[in-house]
Structure 1
Amino acid sequence: MTDREGDGTGDDSRDHRFSEGEGFSDPYDEFDLDPPELDVDPSKVDPVDSRVVADTLDSQQIASDDVDATELLDVGLSYMQINRYEQATDAFERTAQYAEDERLEQEAWVNKGVAHAELEEWDEAIGAHREALDIDAESEHAATAETNLAYALWEFGETAQALEHAERAVEIDERFAEGWFNRAFFLSERGLSEEALQCIDNAIRLGLRNAKILEEKAEILEDLGEYDEAEEIAEEANELRERAEQQMMEDRREMEGQPTGAGGGATDPAGDIADPGREADRDSEWELE
């Protein structure tokens, strides 16, 4: 290799001229290690939250008009039906983020609370239901939020607050059968059996009748010394549960392509009360035992 023309030393550093301009702007728009869409306040970010970047980019890249929040809610409900609760919580949170209608946003928060309850993440469940109530404490979803909040608080050890919110649920909607049942449970746990019996009878009159409800009523009757009636109710509960189990087995055989046996199926799902559709936000009320 020959030297460039010069002093013959082979040192061509003086011949190679670098940019003599003002250099690149700071930050250089075409290549920035700290793009503005990732400009977040670190004091407001949980360092172990792996979704911060994704959520931040979502808010920058996806316009609300491009997201159908109703369909996103349905995605979360579908996850609930197949017991994919972690994915459900994420779908419901994004629904709340993109929902322009407050009722839809509130429904998303309630469902998110239910999903957290299924994961036994009581603190997160409490927070989600409180978010729902902050939107509207008197809406159609408020009674559901109150009764699910009561359940989460009970599991979290806040028993006094649990009863308060259970009572608030039936104050909002006197025809909310699930709310009456939860209130009956909390009263029974406090030894207030007569009031509990009135509440559970209200729930039954409003159409809430399955094995779990009847078993709870039988226990309340025993506490009141009504042993004969308690035994009758307990027997009815067992019959409902047996019919439900038989129906479940027949349904499973049908899904597997096997012929079903003789005999009719149960009409009461015996404990699995919540509708499989948009009413998934009431699932957690039935976890009380």
Structure 2
Amino acid sequence: MTDRDDDRDHQFSEGEGFGDPYEEFDLDPPELGVDPSKVDPVDSRVVTDTLDKHNIDQDDVDASDLLDVGLNYMQINRYEQATDAFERTARFAEDDKLAQEAWVNKGVAHAELEEYDEAIGAHREALRIDEESEHAATAETNLAYALWEFGETSEALEHAERAIEIDERFAAGWFNRAFFLSERGLAEEALNCVDNAIRLGLRNAKVLETKAEILEELGEFDQAEEIADEANQMREQAEQEMMDDREELFGQGGGQGAGRGGAGGRPGGAGGGLGGRGANRQSPQRGGGVGLDDLGVADLGVGDEEEEDDREWELE
């Protein structure tokens, strides 16, 4: 390799160069100006979330429609997309009630993903908006459920009781209180609570199984066996109805396997029998997600017998 001659044909520019900053290539435009101290370095959505405020005018977003998008995602089990839709609904909502609905539903979606820490945060945010609203009891019940799953059992009972204080006719709240009291060995109080839940219309296999377990703890074995048999019959009937629905669906050439019962069917309930206090012990019940009635979808978890695992909840 030979050295190049110092004399080169190319003449370098002797101009003054670009200004600082050069507008056409500014790497730090004002719409991306972010305080680094307020940004989580592992937050992959920080740029998108920041741009939303600049690229989307508040008046161009119908938060109610955006909430429906999230609910539709929930119906097809796309929970990650649902959490994002609900979070954006809360950000764009100008009405506190709508924002609270979004936070409650976001918490339910996180719970479906077993992201209980995020679910707890979402329900706390809903309660921060209003602790006495029509959705507060649902938020308290869902918070109790998430706390239980997260291992905060003592605090879970407090919020289950708070749900009943807000709405004494909230059946899911009574069921959760029964569950937590039973876990503490307070079977008599638990029995009163589960009976209240049943009187208020929450009567399904899961609830009856829980009542049978409580009766067994009280030594009422004959009555416990009778209730357990009723629960098993109810579950078998629901399973048969689900099979009939599947056969009808495939018979019509639907091809869309019905993994869960009906639109928005949710998991719930444990296997048949009493189960005792071991691996088959029931979980507390989640409250529902806000706004499903507007879509013509029944409360999920309550009265829904097409269940697949050991969790039950209703989406308000």
Question: Helix, strand or coil for the counterpart of 1:171?
Answer: helix
- 2:76 aligned with 1:82: yes
How far apart are the structure 2 equivalents of 1:250 and 1:277?
Answer: 29
Contact 1:187-1:193 within 8 A present in 2 as well: yes
Q: 1:141-180 counterparts in 2 under 5 A?
A: 141-180=135-174
**Which residue of 209, 218, 230 corresponds with 2:203?**
209
Question: Helix, strand or coil for the counterpart of 1:128?
Answer: helix
1:1-44, CA deviations, whole angstroms, 9 ceiling, x for partnerless residues? xxxxxxxx877849x65259xx63x4344431001111112222
2:292 counterpart letter in structure 1: R
**Which residue of 224, 227, 242 corresponds with 1:233?**
227
TM-score normalized with structure 2 length: 0.78
How far apart are the structure 2 equivalents of 1:107 and 1:89?
Answer: 12
1:218-277, CA deviations, whole angstroms, 9 ceiling, x for partnerless residues? 000100111111111111111110111011111111211269xxxxxx9xx995896996
How far apart are the structure 1 equivalents of 2:232 and 2:111?
Answer: 27
Tell me which residue corresponds to 2:239: 245
How far apart are the structure 2 equivalents of 1:54 and 1:137?
Answer: 31
- 2:62 aligned with 1:68: yes
Q: Which has the larger radius of gyration?
A: 1
Tell me which residue corresponds to 1:18: 15
Contact 2:83-2:110 within 8 A present in 1 as well: yes
Structure 2: segments with no counterpart, 5+ residues: 1-6, 254-260, 270-286, 303-309
**Which residue of 108, 116, 125 corresponds with 2:119?**
125
After superposition, the Cα gap between the structure-2 partners of 1:159 and 1:288, relative to the gap in structure 1 and judged at 3 Å, is farther
Tell me which residue corresponds to 2:46: 52
- The Cα of 1:132 is off from its aligned counterpart by 0.4
After superposition, the Cα gap between the structure-2 partners of 1:12 and 1:129, relative to the gap in structure 1 and judged at 3 Å, is closer
Q: Cα RMSD over matched residues? A: 2.9
How far apart are the structure 2 equivalents of 1:82 and 1:204?
Answer: 29
1:116 counterpart letter in structure 2: H
How far apart are the structure 1 equivalents of 2:267 and 2:234?
Answer: 6
After superposition, the Cα gap between the structure-2 partners of 1:54 and 1:142, relative to the gap in structure 1 and judged at 3 Å, is same
Question: Helix, strand or coil for the counterpart of 1:256?
Answer: helix
Question: Helix, strand or coil for the counterpart of 2:144?
Answer: helix
How far apart are the structure 1 equivalents of 2:233 and 2:289?
Answer: 22
Count of residue pairs brought into register by the alignment: 268
Contact 1:210-1:271 within 8 A present in 2 as well: no
After superposition, the Cα gap between the structure-2 partners of 1:121 and 1:53, relative to the gap in structure 1 and judged at 3 Å, is same
Tell me which residue corresponds to 2:187: 193
TM-score normalized with structure 1 length: 0.84
Tell me which residue corresponds to 2:292: 278
Question: Helix, strand or coil for the counterpart of 2:25?
Answer: coil
Tell me which residue corresponds to 2:311: 287
Instruction: Considering Cα pairs closer than 8 Å and 6+ residues apart, tell me whether 1 or 2 has the greater RCO.
Output: 2
Deviates more, 1:120-129 or 1:248-257: 248-257
Question: Percent identity of the aligned residues?
Answer: 73
Deviates more, 1:96-105 or 1:28-37: 28-37
Contact 2:105-2:290 within 8 A present in 1 as well: no
Tell me which residue corresponds to 2:212: 218
Contact 1:151-1:284 within 8 A present in 2 as well: no
**More helix by percentage:** 1
Question: Helix, strand or coil for the counterpart of 1:139?
Answer: coil
1:41-94, CA deviations, whole angstroms, 9 ceiling, x for partnerless residues? 222211111111011111111011111111111111111111111111111111
Structure 1: segments with no counterpart, 5+ residues: 1-8, 260-265
- 2:130 aligned with 1:136: yes
Deviates more, 1:139-148 or 1:29-38: 29-38
1:220 counterpart letter in structure 2: I
1:154-193, CA deviations, whole angstroms, 9 ceiling, x for partnerless residues? 1111111000000000000001001111111011111011
Contact 2:208-2:227 within 8 A present in 1 as well: yes
Q: 1:87-106 counterparts in 2 under 5 A?
A: 87-106=81-100
Tell me which residue corresponds to 1:115: 109
